[in-house]
Amino acid sequence: MVALHKKIDTLRTVLADSRKTLILTHDNPDPDAIAAALGWQYLLRSYFGQEGTIAYGGIVGRAENRSMIEHLRITMVPIDRINFQDYSRVALIDTQPLTGNNSLPDSVIPDMVIDHHPLRDATKEIPFFDVRERIGASCTLVTSYLRATGTPIQPRLATALYYGIKSDTQDLGLNAGALDVENYLFLFPQVQRELMNRILHPKVSAEYFKILNRAFKKARIHGDTLTTSMGRLKNPDMVAEVADMLLRHEGVEWVMTMGTFQKALILSLRTSNLQGGAGEIAQGVVRGIGKAGGHGMIAGGKVELKGRSLQELEELLVGRFLKRVGTINQPAEALV
């Protein structure tokens, strides 16, 4: 276990005289962000005797994530219902300042940052931050803080944190380090396994299959690279979900999926190449027109439409992507 005494001392200083903390996840939060925020709320309450409200931008779209919130009875508030005056501290969880994937106004500087994406310069200015790129899930970090402070982790919280680590690391198979394994095993005896099973297998709407159909029909393969777009979405998480699904194609090593949600184009990049580089490629794809970030094998980005033609924008992004992965000169083939 990493020694956290110094970090906890810093946290105590940061929280001195605080009334209430706003705990903000990234937009369209995934299980890791949701559970890590829940764990942080417990830490503040149990160890520091302070209240915290969990807030998020975007929507909770993916059926598994909605079922997690419902089954584990997690209370989260959309950020547009938050009055920042009500909070004396802000914690960013599973995201960092100025990344473009959270809805914290630029004028609000957070006091705490917990994340496992590459460290941003803006984060270094924050009074308390713990950002470790070698860790597979923010839940792993939060579990370490709960353990180091002796905060009791009851079954509901253990189930949430376990699911966060499980989903961000694909059952410890992706981006997982020794601490992820240690905390996953630490949490496991407390996990409500039947509840976990119900969370993992939710029902989905007819719309879900229509979007899959659209994504399959529009998919083009250039060599080992697959790209597709699924048009207007009510659930932006579909972009990532379909990217994961299409990466299973045996001939494919790189995938980029796109969809529009509200007034922005959302994109997801995936690679099965262990050398990674997805984060840098995503940043290259949206350079000058949007924001992107990610880990070695997983990345995402966003481009505001701002009156641009969607078709032209998609063509531009696909062209940039194919150029970067080196398959621009390969002939296009349809997936189905």
x-marked contacts with Mn ion along 122-161 as a string, rule CB under 5 A: ----------------x-----------------------
DSSP 84: G
User: Coil, strand or helix: which one is 266?
Assistant: strand
Q: Which is nearer to Mn ion, 223 or 294 (CB)?
A: 294
Residues counted in the chain:
336
Q: How far is the CB of 26 from Mn ion (least distance, A)?
A: 8
Instruction: Give per-residue burial for 164-180: e unless 16+ CB within 10 Å, then b.
Output: bbbbbbeebeebbbebb
Q: Which is nearer to Mn ion, 59 or 325 (CB)?
A: 59
> Please, which residue, 94 or 130, has the CB nearer to Mn ion?
94
Q: Measured from the CB atom, is 30 or 224 closer to Mn ion?
A: 30
Of 155, 305, 148, the closest CA to residue 231 belongs to 305
Smallest distance from the beta carbon of 30 to Mn ion, in angstroms? 7
CA distance 272 to 253: 5
d(CA 72, CA 58): 20
CB of 167 to Mn ion, least distance (A): 9
> Helical H runs in the chain?
5-15, 31-46, 63-71, 138-148, 155-168, 178-187, 193-200, 206-218, 238-246, 278-285, 310-325
Pattern 208-247, binding to Mn ion, x per CB under 5 A?
----------------------------------------
SS3 call for 134: coil
Rule CB under 5 A: say whether 115 interacts with Mn ion. no
Q: Select from 29, 39, 62, 94 the one that contacts Mn ion (CB under 5 A).
A: 94
**Beta carbons of 65 and 30 less than 8 angstroms apart:** yes
Q: How far is the CB of 231 from Mn ion (least distance, A)?
A: 27
Tell me how crowded residue 196 is: count the other CB atoms within 10 A of its CB.
18
- Burial grade of 156 (CB within 10 A; 0-12, 13-18, 19 or more): middle
* Helix, strand or coil, per DSSP, at residue 283: helix
Of the residues 27, 168, 237, 241, which one makes contact with Mn ion according to CB under 5 A:
168
Q: How far is the CB of 304 from Mn ion (least distance, A)?
A: 24
Nearest CB to Mn ion, comparing residues 96 and 271: 96
- 56 within 8 A of 134, measured Cβ to Cβ: no
Minimum Å gap between C-beta 301 and Mn ion is 16
Output 27 or 168, the one with its CB closest to Mn ion: 168
- Smallest gap, in angstroms, from Cβ of residue 116 to Mn ion? 6
Q: Closest separation between CB of residue 95 and Mn ion, Å? A: 9
Among residues 21, 22, 27, 32, the one that binds Mn ion under rule CB under 5 A: 32
Least distance in angstroms from the C-beta of 150 to Mn ion:
25
Burial class of residue 154, CB neighbours in 10 A (0-12, 13-18, 19+)? exposed
Tell me the residue nearest to Mn ion as measured from the CB: 32
Handedness of CA 131, 136, 138, 142 (dihedral sign): negative
The count of residues interacting with Mn ion (CB under 5 A) is 4
Of 28-36, 83-91, 172-180, 213-221, the segment contacting Mn ion by CB under 5 A is 28-36
**Using CB under 5 A, which of the segments 91-99, 199-207, 237-245, 271-279 binds Mn ion?**
91-99
Nearer CB in complex with Mn ion: 38/230? 38
Binding site for Mn ion (CB under 5 A): 32, 94, 138, 168
